[in-house]
Amino acid sequence: MFRLRFGRLIVYFGEGSTEALAEHIYGVRRVLVVTGRSSARRSGALADVIKILNDAGIEHEVFDHVFPNPTDSVVDSIVEKASESGVEALIAIGGGSVIDSTKFASVLLCSGGKARDYLLGDLSPRCSKPVYAVNLTHGTGSEVDRYSVANIEGEKLKIGIDTTYPEVSVDNPRYALTLPLDQTRYTSIDAFYHSLESSTSTLSNPLTETLASESVSLIAGRLPRVLKSPGDIEAREDLLYAASIAGVGIDNSLTHVVHSLEHTLSGENPMLPHGAGLAILGPRSIRYMYKARPQTLARILRPLDPDLRPLAVDAERAEAAVRRFQEGVGLVENLADYGFSTSDADRVASKTLEVFGKLTGVAPFSVSEEILVEIYKDGF
Ligand SMILES: [Fe+2]
């Protein structure tokens, strides 16, 4: 086991890391444990946390109604439950949807208002209740960053905002052993694009480039290994580490074109898994990113193609390398599989620029409607 510090946040990695929570929540009297429908139980994480709470004499209740692509009303329901119970802190056990929703709820519990008000920009976080996160997937980086993403019910909009950091996070690879194979693919590719986008944004810095290089190298090596042997705990731990440092990358330097377009699509169809959408839209986006930042991406993508040259003319080669990697790990879906049609291209492109202009604005190239239409159409 080892631990990392990012400012005030402490992240524990490795088997046995869950027990480290005990010393941090000592003295808390009452908590709400927030989970999804099944993974907290299936992984064994919920039982481990309940044992820690019982041993420490901490009163607790469980809210287990968070679902993928969560909505504002899920966040409001967590707040309602936590308020009724009079809790002092929240413990999130899950992947990005659970940790995002819990961080968001912790802000509402202290700052007031409804989730929708924050997503629409009418309210800003002022303060938050303490959050402890037990992360179950190697993807979002939510256990190390300050973001929360939620869909606004009835609006077909998915919005990401700054909420808060957890106090302490746990990345225990034992819990990732039961992650289904499709989630293994989707979450890993999420971290992959966090790395590629954060390292090429106009806010990138030497640290995010170094983190991206390490993260992509680990994902390229360990994801195929885990798909062959899902119980490979060392490879799972490396993927957790890769996802968390990619999370530090986006906390510093944001994402841009791939995430913006994907958020538009999964805002319209919440059945589209985030990672599936990124994998569909990513390869053609890489062509544009590579043209703009060939030196950075030649270095980072070296594990996928060692012969990539740091020249814009190798952009198509970089696109092909990413496509080959994705196909090799079974990421082969397209947008038609999720009910989208090529005739939506113009509308999707203009909505992306309108809703996510701030994010597309940090891409390393000028993101036009025309380019977004091309990337979208390549997803069929
Ligand atoms: Fe993401």
Determine the distance separating the centroid of ligand 1 and the alpha carbon of 115, expressed in angstroms: 20
Question: What residue has token string 């939510």?
Answer: 142
Closest CA to 194 of 137, 258, 273, 281: 258
Q: Going edge to edge, which strands form the sheet with 131-135? A: 2-6, 9-13, 168-171, 131-135, 89-94, 30-36, 59-66
Give the DSSP letter of residue 60: E
Please give the sequence-ordered ranges of beta strands (E in DSSP) within 38-126, or none if there are none: 59-66, 89-94
Q: Does domain 2-175 have CATH number 3.40.50.1970?
A: yes
Measured CA to CA, the distance from residue 377 to residue 283 in angstroms comes to 12
Distance, first Cα to last Cα, the chain: 43
Give the DSSP letter of residue 229: -
CB 315 within 8 A of CB 290: yes
Q: What is the pLDDT of residues 77-134, one digit of tens each?
A: 999 999 999 999 999 999 999 999 999 999 999 999 999 999 999 999 999 999 999 9
Determine the distance separating the centroid of ligand 1 and the alpha carbon of 28, expressed in angstroms: 32
State what percent of residues in the chain have pLDDT above 70. Answer: 100
Give pLDDT < 70 ranges for the chain. none
Determine the distance separating the centroid of ligand 1 and the alpha carbon of 359, expressed in angstroms: 13
Determine the distance separating the centroid of ligand 1 and the alpha carbon of 247, expressed in angstroms: 9
Domain 180-377 falls in which CATH fold?
A: Dehydroquinate synthase-like, alpha domain (1.20.1090)
Determine the distance separating the centroid of ligand 1 and the alpha carbon of 194, expressed in angstroms: 6
* Residue 8: C-alpha distances to residues 24, 68, 156, 168, 246 (Å): 13, 28, 35, 9, 18
Per-residue pLDDT, 327: 98
Residues in Cβ contact with 341 at an 8 Å cutoff, skipping those fewer than 6 apart: none
Determine the distance separating the centroid of ligand 1 and the alpha carbon of 53, expressed in angstroms: 31
String of b and e for 74-88 (b: at least 16 CB within 10 Å)?
bbbbbbebbeeeebb
9: left (phi over 0), alpha (psi -120 to 50) or beta: beta
Per-residue pLDDT, 204: 98
Q: Which helix (H) or strand (E) holds 356?
A: none
Q: Which helix (H) or strand (E) holds 363?
A: none
Determine the distance separating the centroid of ligand 1 and the alpha carbon of 191, expressed in angstroms: 7
Determine the distance separating the centroid of ligand 1 and the alpha carbon of 226, expressed in angstroms: 20
Closest CA to 318 of 307, 329, 333: 307
Closest CA to 309 of 325, 327, 290, 326: 290
String of b and e for 288-304 (b: at least 16 CB within 10 Å)?
bbbbbbbebbbbbbbeb
- Asked whether this chain's domains 2-175 and 180-377 adopt the same fold, the reply is no
328: left (phi over 0), alpha (psi -120 to 50) or beta: alpha
Measured CA to CA, the distance from residue 163 to residue 18 in angstroms comes to 24
Instruction: For the chain, give every domain's residue range.
Output: 2-175, 180-377
